[in-house]
Amino acid sequence: MLPIFVYGTLRPGEPNHDLFLRGRTVAEEPAWMRGMALYDGPGYPYAVESLGDGAAHGTVTGTGAGAGSATETENATGTETENATGIGERHGGVGEVSGEVVTALPEDYAELLRVLDQLEEYAPGAPTNLYERVERPAVLADGTVVRVWVYVAAPTVAARLRARGKLIESGDWRLRG
């Protein structure tokens, strides 16, 4: 059961947080992700992965509730104890996305993933996806690296955004101007 990294309208204080997450979580912690750029969409953002980053972080594509596998660097709690890739070092701005790591109530997890997949217009393997749900590392405020689900722009959407999208240079949806 992986937590979920949220960076836009699902963040606390944003409209979709109250609609989809309020009362269904046990923890919501400030966090950030490296290797991504944030682009402004029509009322919501897209996280776009840097080209080639998926392989560096052990890509696992979402295929259902609880899908995914642990990496060799994970301990029993799902946090990385060593950080050979430098993922825990924050540099700020382009290449990093700010958000929260949301841990769902265990009894709500499967249904929450189903609902979020629907909200994000994601279905495993669908060529019309706006987003893909992928497993990636996120860094909590205390520097702990955790594996999370995150919705990133699907390949065709990502290519379009890289070519002519509006970049949110701060990497923080709340600081878009």
Tens digits of residue pLDDT in 71-104: 323 333 343 333 334 445 544 556 899 999 999 9
Predicted confidence at residue 94, as pLDDT, reads 61
User: pLDDT-derived band of residue 52, with 50, 70 and 90 as boundaries?
Assistant: low
CATH of the domain at 8: 3.10.490.10
- Residue 102's nearest CA partner among 173, 1, 27 is 27
User: pLDDT-derived band of residue 51, with 50, 70 and 90 as boundaries?
Assistant: confident
Residue ranges making up the domain that contains 10:
4-175
Q: Tell me the residue length of the chain.
A: 177
- Structural domain count, the chain: 1
- What are residue 50's phi and psi, to 5 degrees? -65, 145
Predicted confidence at residue 164, as pLDDT, reads 95
- Residue 138's nearest CA partner among 40, 28, 51 is 28
Interval 139-163: pLDDT, tens: 999 999 999 999 999 999 999 999 9
